[in-house]
């Protein structure tokens, strides 16, 4: 099955119920509708991790001496000075630093439609030709796979570095036991495969078996499910999807 998925990825490189009611062809989506599908829809979740410690940066004053202070106080001064030195080397931010994780159900057709439309809208010409090229991407059958993509952005590049490193260096083996889909009833489906970010701009790909033991893991009556992944001790992804909102043109899309 692993080999099948690798071949599937290679082939890709060729190139709330409100969505269900619209019945709008992807070729007619506006830029605003496309962005909403990609960033704020039942198939897309944003996890925001914010570090506020930089808001309280106050460097130790020059000439501060540890003489006459208790050992505990000396330890605090030393620790703070170490932090300040690191900030001096990297540059103090003096503001809250946020990393935004965009976690999308890539195997859901609405997401692929939005991606295809985004590509077309960002071209100056050749709309019809490009639309025709993107249609197989939109219609592709993911068959036995459920695929989520994860990308990240930050208001400070230094905060983004560890995230990019974690996504790039992770493998299926390092993630398998701490990455899963979990249903409302508590049952979990663990990661089957993983692909680090590539030049396609889609982000990292997390792959799960759609129907373990021959039965779909996610069904219309399951209520909800969440995606959890522990990339490192400090980077943990945890988002929830409501199944009732994933109906699209009368079909459960995930």
Return the closest-CA partner of residue 179 out of 145, 220, 226: 226
Question: Is residue 80 over pLDDT 80?
Answer: no
Residues 64-68, mean pLDDT to the nearest whole number: 44
Calpha distance 10→205 (Å, rounded): 13
Calpha distance 254→246 (Å, rounded): 7
pLDDT of residue 8: 42
Question: Is residue 11 over pLDDT 50?
Answer: no
Half-sphere exposure (Cβ direction) of 125: Cα atoms closer than 13 Å: 0
Calpha distance 25→128 (Å, rounded): 14
Asked if 207 and 190 count as a contact pair (C-beta separation under 8 A), the reply is no
Residues 171-193, mean pLDDT to the nearest whole number: 97
Task: Indicate the pLDDT class of residue 51, thresholds 50, 70 and 90.
Answer: confident
User: What single DSSP character describes residue 55?
Assistant: G
pLDDT of residue 23: 61
**pLDDT tens-digit profile of 94-124?**
678 899 999 999 999 999 999 999 999 988 6
The overall pTM is greater than 0.75: yes
Task: Indicate the pLDDT class of residue 170, thresholds 50, 70 and 90.
Answer: very high
């Amino acid at each position: 099955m692993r080999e099948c998925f690798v071949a599937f990825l290679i082939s890709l490189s060729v190139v709330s119920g409100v969505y269900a009611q619209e019945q709008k062809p992807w070729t007619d989506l506006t830029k605003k509708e496309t962005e909403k599908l990609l960033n704020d829809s039942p198939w897309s979740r944003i996890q925001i991790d914010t570090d506020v410690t930089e808001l309280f940066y106050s460097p130790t004053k020059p000439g501060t001496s540890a003489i006459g202070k208790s050992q505990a106080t000396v330890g605090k001064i030393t620790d703070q000075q170490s932090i300040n030195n690191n900030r001096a080397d990297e540059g103090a931010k003096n503001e809250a630093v946020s990393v935004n994780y965009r976690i999308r159900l890539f195997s859901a057709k609405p997401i692929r439609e939005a991606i295809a439309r985004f590509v077309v809208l960002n071209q100056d010409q050749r709309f019809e030709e490009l639309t025709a090229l993107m249609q197989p991407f939109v219609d592709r059958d993911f068959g036995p796979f459920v695929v989520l993509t994860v990308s990240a952005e930050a208001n400070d590049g230094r905060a983004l570095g560890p995230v990019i490193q974690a996504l790039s260096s992770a493998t299926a083996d390092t993630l398998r036991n701490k990455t899963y889909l979990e249903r409302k009833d508590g049952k979990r489906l663990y990661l089957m495969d993983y692909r680090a970010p590539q030049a396609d701009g889609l982000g990292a790909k997390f792959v799960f078996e759609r129907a373990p033991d021959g039965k779909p893991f996610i069904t219309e009556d399951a209520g909800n499910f969440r995606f959890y992944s522990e990339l490192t001790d400090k980077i943990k992804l945890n988002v929830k999807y409501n199944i009732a909102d994933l109906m699209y043109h009368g079909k459960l899309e995930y």
